[in-house]
Structure 1
C-alpha cells in the first residue's frame, strides 16, 4: 500500500488556485492597461504633499468645456461627455464610431481635504485638479473609562 503525502494534495490545490487567478486576471485585466476609447473611467494619478493633493486624469479627446468637476460629501467627481454632432448627409459611412463618448470617475477625498479650495486646469488632454489640505477639525481626544 502506497501512502500519499498530505503535501501532494496541497500542491494540486495551489495549482488549481493559480489557474483560477490567471483566469480572473484575463477577465478583469491588470488595472494597468492604457486608456482606450471604450473605457468608462479615466485613469488617474493622485499625489500628496504637505500642502495639497493633486489628481491628474487623462482625458484624451475631451476639451475643458466637455468636462465637469464637482465635490459632494467629500467625494470628487469628474464627468465628461462628448458628442460628435457633425454628420455629413451625403457621406456613405462604412463604419461610424465617433458619435458619443462619456466618462465618469468618483474619488473619495481624505478627511483633511479642503473641499472649498479646489482648482482645476486642462492641458493637452490632461486634467489636473488641486485640493488644498487643512488641519483636521477633530484630531481626536482621550476618553476616560469610569
Structure 2
C-alpha cells in the first residue's frame, strides 16, 4: 500500500490515477476510495468517499506521523433466484495512508462520517518561533 505525502509533495501515485476510472471490479484489492486533502489556517483536512461503508467498519489511526484510514465495504448478497446483469460496485478492504506535515498534531485528530464521506481533521501545532538568547558577559 502506498503512502501519500499531503504537503508539500503533491505527486500522487500514477497507478492509482490510472486505475481510478476503469478498474477490474472483480478484484476487491483494487478498491481505492477517492480522497481530497486540503488545509486551512488551523488544520489539515482529509475527506474520503466511502459510500455504502458502515462507519463501524472504518478505522482511523495516526502512527509515526502517518494517517492511516482503513476499512471494508461488504458485498450485498443478491436475493435467492435473482440474476445479476451488471455488477460494477467494488467490495472488500481498503487502506489509504497519508504522511502528515511536521506541524500536524496527530494526537488530536477528529473524524466524522457524513453522507458517505469520512471527514478527518488534523489540527496544526502552533509554530515555534525563534527565540533570541541573551548572552551574559562575565
TM-score (norm 2): 0.63
Secondary structure of 1:104's counterpart equals strand
Gaps of 5+ in 2: 1-13, 131-138
TM-score (norm 1): 0.60
2:120 aligned with 1:129: yes
Match of 1:101 among 78, 81, 92: 92
* Residue 72 (structure 2) aligns with: 81
* Residue 81 (structure 2) aligns with: 91
CA contact (8 A) 1:40 1:102 kept: yes
How many residue pairs end up in the alignment?
Answer: 113
Provide the aligned C-alpha RMSD in A: 3.5
Q: Could you tell me how far apart the structure 2 residues matched to 1:35 and 1:134 are?
A: 40
In structure 2, relative to structure 1, the CA distance for the partners of 1:51 and 1:94 (3 Å cut) is: closer
Moved over 3 A (4+): 27-39, 84-88, 90-100, 136-139
Q: Could you tell me how far apart the structure 2 residues matched to 1:87 and 1:32 are?
A: 27
Shift of 1:113: 0.2
In structure 2, relative to structure 1, the CA distance for the partners of 1:68 and 1:28 (3 Å cut) is: closer
Kindly name which structure, 1 or 2, has the bigger radius of gyration based on alpha carbons: 1
Task: Map 1:1-146 to 2 at 5 A.
Answer: 33=20, 38=25, 39-84=30-75, 86=77, 90-91=80-81, 93=83, 100-136=91-127
CA contact (8 A) 1:51 1:132 kept: yes
CA contact (8 A) 2:111 2:119 kept: yes
Q: Could you tell me how far apart the structure 1 residues matched to 2:22 and 2:117 are?
A: 12
